[in-house]
C-alpha cells in the first residue's frame, strides 16, 4: 500500500466514498488559530521552507530536542538551512508521531513533493520547495485561497489596535479574517510587573485613565465593544482550570489596588480575581451573542531554566492533571443563573477528562441554539489521529456528534491547513467503519449531510460571523448577518 495516497486513513469503501463526496470539497472554517494578521495584511512571501515551516513551531522543536539536537538548531542562531537539515534528520525518528504524517502531508499538499524527508533528501526538498515559495500561489493570501479557507479567526490581545484586520478587510481578501478576544493578561495579578505594564497598554488602547477597578473593567468593556465593531464574535481563554471562587466587588477592588502597588496576589486571590473577571467577560459575550472558548488543562512553562532562556510557547508544556468538572460547572452555573450564559466551546487537554467534558456540556444545553455548548475538537497534545477519535467517540456517546462545529488548526504556521483534511479523513473513516459493520445506515443523504455539517456548515451557522459591508465609509467594515448593507 502506498504511503499517503488518496485512501490515506480511509480503511474501507464507505469511508472513501463519504470523504470524496461530502468532506473533501467543503471550505475550511478555521475559527481558532494563532496566525499572524500582519502576515496576511502584508501578504507575506516566505523566503524559504524554514520561515514558513520551522519558525515558531514548538512541536518540531520538542521532537528535535528529544532526538538530541542542540538548541542552536531549534530556536537558536544557526543558519536557516542548518536548522532545516537538523529537522530533516529528525523526521525519520518521528515515525508514528503525528509529525511524521503532518510533515509528508504538508510537503505533498503545498509543493507536490512525494519524497520522504530525511538528511539525504533535505537539500533537494529545500531547493524544490523554496522555488515554489517565490510564486504568488504561496504567499499568505495565496495559501488561504489554495486551501479554500473561507473564514479564519486569529487570537488577539484586547490592547491590539486590529490595524492589520482593518487592512485585510479593506483589501477585500476573499478569506474573511476576524479577531478573537483573548484577555489572559488581564487575569495575571500574581505577576504585578507584567500586569501593570499591560494596564498601561490598556489605558492607551481604551484612551482612558485607569485608577480603580471600575476604570479597569470599563476599559476592558470598551475594548470588547471595539472588537465587536471589527467583526469579532469569539473570545478565548487559556486556563489551567476555570476559576470559580465567588468574589465580591470589594474584594476584587482590593486585589486590584494591591497589584497596582506591586504586591503579587496569593493563589486564592488569583482565583477570586479570575472568577470576577471571567464573569464580566461571560456576561459581555452573552449580551453580544459571542462564542466563548475555554482552553483548559495544559500545564505550561515547566522548565524554569529554559523558560528564562527562551520564553513561553517554546515547547516546555505538558498535559496537566487539574480537576476540571466542579469549577467549570460552578462558573457556567453562575452565568446560567443570571440568564447570561453565552455559547461555549470547551477544549480539553487531558484525555482522562474526555467523558467529563462530553457530559458536562450536556448539563447546560438549553434548547435555544443547536449545539450551544460544544466539546471542542482534540487540542494540542490530543491533536492527532487517536486524540481526534477519542474526542469524536466521547462526544458521540454522550452528546450530538451531528452538531459538532468541527476542527480548528490552532496553529501558528501557514503550513497547517492539511490538519483539516486529516481530521476529515479520521471522521469519515470512523463513520465508514460503522457503515460497513451495519451499525450505521448506508444512507448518503443522512451521513453525507452530517459530515458536511461537521466540516463546515455547523461552524458557519454557530459562529454567525458578520458579512462584509458593500461600502465602509469610515465605520465598521462588517454588518450583522442578514442585516442591510
Ligand atoms: Zn490556541
What is the whole-number distance in angstroms between the Cα of residue 279 and the centre of ligand 1?
A: 21
What is the whole-number distance in angstroms between the Cα of residue 443 and the centre of ligand 1?
A: 36
Per-residue pLDDT reduced to its tens digit, 424-463: 999 999 999 999 999 999 999 999 999 999 999 999 999 9
387 within 8 A of 375, measured Cβ to Cβ? no
Radius of gyration (Cα) for the chain, nearest Å? Answer: 23
Helix (H) or strand (E) holding 243: none
What is the whole-number distance in angstroms between the Cα of residue 299 and the centre of ligand 1?
A: 14
What is the whole-number distance in angstroms between the Cα of residue 479 and the centre of ligand 1?
A: 26
Distance of CA 387 to the CA centre of its chain: 16
What is the whole-number distance in angstroms between the Cα of residue 137 and the centre of ligand 1?
A: 26
What is the whole-number distance in angstroms between the Cα of residue 262 and the centre of ligand 1?
A: 30
Mean pLDDT of the chain: 96
What is the whole-number distance in angstroms between the Cα of residue 439 and the centre of ligand 1?
A: 35
Question: Given its phi and psi angles, is residue 113 left (phi above 0), alpha (psi -120 to 50 degrees) or beta?
Answer: beta
Name the residue with cell 488569583.
Answer: 270
What is the whole-number distance in angstroms between the Cα of residue 232 and the centre of ligand 1?
A: 16
- Cβ-in-10-Å burial (0-12, 13-18, 19+) of 174 comes to exposed
What is the whole-number distance in angstroms between the Cα of residue 380 and the centre of ligand 1?
A: 8
Tell whether the model's pLDDT for residue 257 goes beyond 60.
Answer: yes
What is the whole-number distance in angstroms between the Cα of residue 141 and the centre of ligand 1?
A: 21
390 within 8 A of 319, measured Cβ to Cβ? no
Per-residue pLDDT reduced to its tens digit, 371-397: 999 999 999 999 999 999 999 999 999
What is the whole-number distance in angstroms between the Cα of residue 63 and the centre of ligand 1?
A: 20
Q: Measuring CA to CA, which residue among 426, 455, 415, 428 is closest to residue 102? A: 415
Rounded to whole angstroms, the Cα distance separating 277 from 253 reads: 11
What is the whole-number distance in angstroms between the Cα of residue 254 and the centre of ligand 1?
A: 32
- Cβ-in-10-Å burial (0-12, 13-18, 19+) of 350 comes to buried
Per-residue pLDDT reduced to its tens digit, 144-162: 999 999 999 999 999 999 9
What is the whole-number distance in angstroms between the Cα of residue 409 and the centre of ligand 1?
A: 8
What is the whole-number distance in angstroms between the Cα of residue 446 and the centre of ligand 1?
A: 32
What is the whole-number distance in angstroms between the Cα of residue 226 and the centre of ligand 1?
A: 22
What is the whole-number distance in angstroms between the Cα of residue 318 and the centre of ligand 1?
A: 15
Rounded to whole angstroms, the Cα distance separating 423 from 174 reads: 24
What is the whole-number distance in angstroms between the Cα of residue 34 and the centre of ligand 1?
A: 6
Q: What pLDDT, on the 0 to 100 scale, is given for residue 1? A: 84
Q: What pLDDT, on the 0 to 100 scale, is given for residue 479? A: 73
Per-residue pLDDT reduced to its tens digit, 219-229: 999 999 999 99
295 within 8 A of 379, measured Cβ to Cβ? yes
What is the whole-number distance in angstroms between the Cα of residue 181 and the centre of ligand 1?
A: 12
- Contacts of residue 98, Cβ cutoff 8 Å, sequence gap at least 6: 383, 384, 385
Residue 344 vs residues 237, 286, 302, 354, 405: alpha-carbon distances, Å = 11, 10, 29, 16, 11
Per-residue pLDDT reduced to its tens digit, 168-179: 999 999 999 999
What is the whole-number distance in angstroms between the Cα of residue 32 and the centre of ligand 1?
A: 6
Per-residue pLDDT reduced to its tens digit, 195-252: 999 999 999 999 999 999 999 999 999 999 999 999 999 999 999 999 999 999 999 9
Q: What pLDDT, on the 0 to 100 scale, is given for residue 442? A: 97
- Structure confidence at residue 485 as a pLDDT band (50, 70, 90): very low
What is the whole-number distance in angstroms between the Cα of residue 159 and the centre of ligand 1?
A: 18
Name the residue with cell 476599559.
Answer: 219
Q: Measuring CA to CA, which residue among 45, 44, 104, 32 is closest to residue 421? A: 104
What is the whole-number distance in angstroms between the Cα of residue 123 and the centre of ligand 1?
A: 32
Question: Given its phi and psi angles, is residue 226 left (phi above 0), alpha (psi -120 to 50 degrees) or beta?
Answer: alpha
Name the residue with cell 529537522.
Answer: 87
What is the whole-number distance in angstroms between the Cα of residue 231 and the centre of ligand 1?
A: 19
What is the whole-number distance in angstroms between the Cα of residue 33 and the centre of ligand 1?
A: 6
What is the whole-number distance in angstroms between the Cα of residue 411 and the centre of ligand 1?
A: 7
- Structure confidence at residue 469 as a pLDDT band (50, 70, 90): low
Rounded to whole angstroms, the Cα distance separating 315 from 60 reads: 9
Query: What is the grid cell recorded at 374?
Result: 460544544
DSSP letters for 76-123: SSS-HHHHHHHHHHHGGGGTTSHHHHHHHHHHHHHH---SPPSTTTHH
Q: Work out the average pLDDT over 10-17.
A: 98
What is the whole-number distance in angstroms between the Cα of residue 286 and the centre of ligand 1?
A: 21
Per this entry, what is the length of the chain?
Answer: 485
Which of 6-10, 74-78, 311-315 is predicted with the least confidence, judged by mean pLDDT? Answer: 311-315
What is the whole-number distance in angstroms between the Cα of residue 135 and the centre of ligand 1?
A: 29
453 within 8 A of 27, measured Cβ to Cβ? no
262 within 8 A of 192, measured Cβ to Cβ? yes
What is the whole-number distance in angstroms between the Cα of residue 234 and the centre of ligand 1?
A: 12
282 within 8 A of 235, measured Cβ to Cβ? no
What is the whole-number distance in angstroms between the Cα of residue 293 and the centre of ligand 1?
A: 10
What is the whole-number distance in angstroms between the Cα of residue 408 and the centre of ligand 1?
A: 9
272 within 8 A of 250, measured Cβ to Cβ? no
What is the whole-number distance in angstroms between the Cα of residue 29 and the centre of ligand 1?
A: 15
Q: What pLDDT, on the 0 to 100 scale, is given for residue 360? A: 98
What is the whole-number distance in angstroms between the Cα of residue 382 and the centre of ligand 1?
A: 13
What spatial distance separates the first Cα and last Cα of the chain, rounded to whole Å? 53
Rounded to whole angstroms, the Cα distance separating 426 from 418 reads: 12
Per-residue pLDDT reduced to its tens digit, 48-77: 999 999 998 999 999 999 999 999 999 999
- Structure confidence at residue 470 as a pLDDT band (50, 70, 90): low
Rounded to whole angstroms, the Cα distance separating 202 from 207 reads: 8
What is the whole-number distance in angstroms between the Cα of residue 88 and the centre of ligand 1?
A: 26
Per-residue pLDDT reduced to its tens digit, 323-379: 999 999 999 999 999 999 999 999 999 999 999 999 999 999 999 999 999 999 999
What is the whole-number distance in angstroms between the Cα of residue 238 and the centre of ligand 1?
A: 8
Amino acid at each position: 500500500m502506498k504511503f499517503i495516497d488518496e485512501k490515506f486513513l480511509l480503511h474501507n469503501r464507505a469511508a472513501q466514498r463519504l470523504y470524496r463526496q461530502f468532506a473533501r470539497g467543503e471550505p475550511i472554517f478555521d475559527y481558532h488559530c494563532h496566525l499572524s494578521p500582519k502576515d496576511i495584511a502584508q501578504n507575506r512571501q516566505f523566503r524559504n521552507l524554514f520561515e514558513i515551516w520551522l519558525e515558531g513551531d514548538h512541536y518540531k522543536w520538542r521532537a528535535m530536542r528529544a532526538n538530541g539536537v542542540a538548541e542552536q538548531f531549534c530556536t537558536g542562531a544557526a543558519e536557516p538551512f542548518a536548522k532545516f537539515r537538523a529537522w530533516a534528520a529528525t523526521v525519520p525518528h518521528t515515525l508514528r508521531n503525528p509529525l511524521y504524517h503532518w510533515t509528508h502531508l504538508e510537503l505533498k499538499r503545498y509543493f507536490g513533493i512525494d519524497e520522504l524527508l530525511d538528511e539525504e533528501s533535505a537539500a533537494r526538498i529545500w531547493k524544490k520547495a523554496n522555488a515554489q515559495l517565490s510564486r504568488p500561489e504561496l504567499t499568505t493570501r495565496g495559501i488561504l485561497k489554495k486551501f479554500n479557507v473561507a473564514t479564519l479567526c486569529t487570537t488577539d490581545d484586547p490592547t491590539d489596535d486590529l490595524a492589520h484586520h482593518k487592512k485585510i478587510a479593506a483589501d477585500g481578501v476573499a478569506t474573511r479574517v476576524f479577531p478573537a478576544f483573548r484577555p489572559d493578561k488581564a487575569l495575571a495579578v500574581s505577576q504585578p510587573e507584567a500586569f501593570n505594564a499591560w494596564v498601561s497598554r490598556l489605558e492607551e488602547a481604551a484612551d482612558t485613565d485607569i485608577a480603580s477597578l471600575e476604570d479597569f473593567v470599563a476599559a476592558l468593556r470598551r475594548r470588547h465593544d471595539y472588537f465587536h465593531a471589527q467583526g469579532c464574535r469569539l473570545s478565548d481563554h487559556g486556563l489551567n482550570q476555570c476559576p470559580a471562587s465567588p468574589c465580591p466587588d470589594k474584594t476584587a477592588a482590593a486585589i486590584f489596588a494591591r497589584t497596582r502597588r506591586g504586591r503579587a496576589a496569593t493563589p486564592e486571590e488569583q482565583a477570586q480575581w479570575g472568577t470576577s473577571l471571567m464573569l464580566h467577560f461571560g456576561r459581555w459575550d452573552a449580551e453580544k451573542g459571542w462564542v466563548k472558548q475555554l482552553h483548559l488543562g495544559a500545564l505550561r512553562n515547566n522548565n524554569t531554566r529554559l523558560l528564562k532562556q527562551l520564553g513561553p510557547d517554546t515547547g516546555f508544556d505538558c498535559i496537566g492533571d487539574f480537576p476540571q468538572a466542579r469549577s467549570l460547572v460552578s462558573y457556567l452555573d453562575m452565568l446560567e443563573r443570571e440568564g447570561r450564559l453565552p455559547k461555549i466551546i470547551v477544549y480539553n487537554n487531558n484525555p482522562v477528562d474526555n467523558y467529563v467534558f462530553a457530559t458536562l456540556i450536556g448539563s447546560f444545553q438549553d434548547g435555544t441554539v443547536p449545539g450551544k455548548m460544544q466539546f471542542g475538537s482534540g487540542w494540542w497534545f490530543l491533536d492527532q489521529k487517536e486524540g481526534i477519535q477519542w474526542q469524536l467517540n466521547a462526544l458521540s456517546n454522550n452528546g450530538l456528534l451531528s452538531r459538532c462545529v468541527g476542527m480548528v488548526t490552532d496553529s501558528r504556521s501557514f503550513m497547517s491547513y492539511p490538519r483539516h483534511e486529516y481530521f476529515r479523513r479520521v471522521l469519515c473513516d470512523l463513520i465508514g467503519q460503522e457503515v460497513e459493520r451495519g451499525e450505521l445506515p448506508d444512507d448518503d443523504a443522512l451521513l453525507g449531510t452530517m459530515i458536511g455539517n461537521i466540516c463546515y456548515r455547523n461552524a458557519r451557522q454557530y459562529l454567525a460571523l458578520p458579512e462584509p459591508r458593500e461600502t465602509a465609509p469610515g465605520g465598521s467594515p462588517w454588518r450583522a448577518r442578514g442585516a442591510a448593507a
